[in-house]
Amino acid sequence: MDAPKPLELVYSSVDGLEISLDVFLPESATETSKAPVLIWWHGGGLLQGTRKALSPHHLTAPAKHNICIVSPDYRLAPQTRFPGILADCKAALDFVRSPAFALTTGNRVDATKIVTSGSSAGGWLSFLAGTGIGYAACGLDPPAPVAGITALYPISDLADPFWTTKQHPVSYMPRIVPDEEVAPFIDPTAEKVSFSVMDSKRSVFYHYMVQEGILEELLLEGTNIPASAFAVGPALKTGKFAVPPTYIIHGSIDDKVPARQARDVVAALEELKVDYIYEELPGVDHLFDKDPKYEMENMYAFVARVTKS
């Protein structure tokens, strides 16, 4: 079966850059029976990636689960640091809630029922945008509250040694990535980008970052903002952030983002006694849901529950 064709729209970053987002509307949605929204941010360490990197279950979800899937791009680091990326997340959410979006989608989407979602680094963005963590540190107003969060194998805290310890080579690659291979992408003064196709030369950037242990530097150098401002578990434990219902899933043998990144958040959610579901899949690695056999039924059941009228 051919993949569904998205409605391709644009929103504007705070510096005026037009950024694309794809919208997959369920045919069953109408003005009187509007579809809730799952807004999904792609992974890639906030360094690479594309809104086109949806998994098979995302593409079948509009028809199967009567949900509108929105997949935005966002500006990539280090040309745009973390504050700019968080601003892009808010701008995308604001756009989905705007009259212009309602008009373009035929007033068939219920923007009062939004679930933030994402995979890997995108899962991190779903936590931050869904709770407001990190926004004050960046001098930004947080996004409006959402109905829920669904984070797939998320990054959650830069304090984990995985992000600071050099690996020569990384555990899952047979070679060391040389500096010159990433030179065009690691320069913070290079042209700002909000998109890199999955087979581009920039696709090695994440592996280089893990190899050198430099994610904090790439995201925050020159901002004077501590990495702890974006640590989800510790921030939640302060009790300063409202936490919507949350669903998290992670593979137990993930060697691109350790499962303890999810477990740390789960420990905080458990301490807070909030509504959450955690699934840890034994013997499963990163990006597992790219396999069509993972239909993510539990996640979509969660979305249906938290967006129910």
> pLDDT (tens digit, 9 = 90+) per residue, 177-233?
999 999 999 999 999 999 999 889 999 999 999 999 999 999 999 999 999 999 999
Domains and CATH numbers, the chain: 7-306 (3.40.50.1820)
Q: State the sign of the Cα–Cα–Cα–Cα dihedral 6, 147, 117, 226.
A: positive
Q: Span 122-138, mean pLDDT?
A: 98
Judged by DSSP in three states, 263 sits in helix
Judged by DSSP in three states, 27 sits in coil
End-to-end CA distance of the chain: 32
Contact 134, 147 (CB under 8 A): no
d(CA 212, CA 127): 26
Contact 255, 162 (CB under 8 A): no
Q: Which pLDDT value is given to residue 4?
A: 81
- CA dist 175 → 12, 172, 199 (Å): 39, 9, 18
Helix runs in the chain, H state only: 56-65, 82-96, 99-104, 121-131, 179-186, 205-212, 215-220, 232-237, 260-272, 297-306
Q: State the sign of the Cα–Cα–Cα–Cα dihedral 126, 128, 132, 136.
A: negative
Q: State the sign of the Cα–Cα–Cα–Cα dihedral 63, 246, 96, 79.
A: negative
Question: Does the structure show a pLDDT above 90 at 1?
Answer: no
Q: Span 252-269, mean pLDDT?
A: 98
Q: Which pLDDT value is given to residue 15?
A: 85
> pLDDT (tens digit, 9 = 90+) per residue, 9-51?
999 998 889 999 999 999 999 999 999 999 999 999 999 999 9
Listed in sequence order, the residues at least 6 apart from 233 whose beta carbon sits closer than 8 Å to its beta carbon are 156, 157, 264, 265, 267, 268
